[in-house]
Amino acid sequence: MKIELIPLQIHGDERGSLVALETEKNIPFEIRRVYYLFDTKKDVIRGYHAHKALKQVAIAVRGSCKFTLDDGHERVDVILNNPAQGLLIESFMWREMSEFSDDCVLMVLADSQYDESDYVRDYEQFKKMAG
């Protein structure tokens, strides 16, 4: 399974660092929604779903967490701990997020607005749909 980590250029100088996210430049879709997770409690696992169509990029802008991606055939763990790195999550990828550091802020860019009907929340159904 191919894991795509997008390198994000840091514009840094003596004042600090800045990363810009732009549609079709470093983010390979039109950004229609941004959300972020923070204050995530220890030992929780979030996600447990796939999306039929939605594409997303996840960035740990602070701290770290583990992403487990599963295409229905293979599971791969990816540690996100770098604000200059975006994990591309294509549609039809089962995801679980865990091992959040206390300070983790996980930002997610998405190509569509929130739509519950785009979710697949049953793993067995996901496996069948993934073929």
Using CB under 6 A, which of 28, 47, 63, 83 touches ligand TYD?
47
118 binds ligand TYD (CB under 6 A): no
Instruction: For residue 127, state whether it binds ligand TYD (rule: CB under 6 A).
Output: no
Minimum distance from residue 31 beta carbon to ligand TYD (Å): 13
Q: Determine if 36 is a binding residue for ligand TYD (CB under 6 A).
A: no
Q: How many CB atoms lie within 10 A of CB 61?
A: 15
Angle at 125 between CA 100 and CA 57, to 5 degrees: 40
Spatial distance between the Cα atoms of 8 and 2, rounded to a whole number of angstroms = 19
Cβ atoms of 78 and 57 closer than 8 Å? no
Contacts with ligand TYD: how many residues (CB under 6 A)? 6
Show the site string, 52-91: x = touches ligand TYD by CB under 6 A, - = not. ----------------------------------------
User: Which one of the spans 18-26, 32-40, 60-68, 78-86 is the region binding ligand TYD (CB under 6 A)?
Assistant: 32-40
Residue spans of alpha helices (H) in the chain: 123-130
8 Å CB contact between 95 and 51: no
* CA atoms 108, 114, 118, 121: torsion sign: positive
Binding residues (CB under 6 A) for ligand TYD: these are 33, 35, 37, 46-47, 114
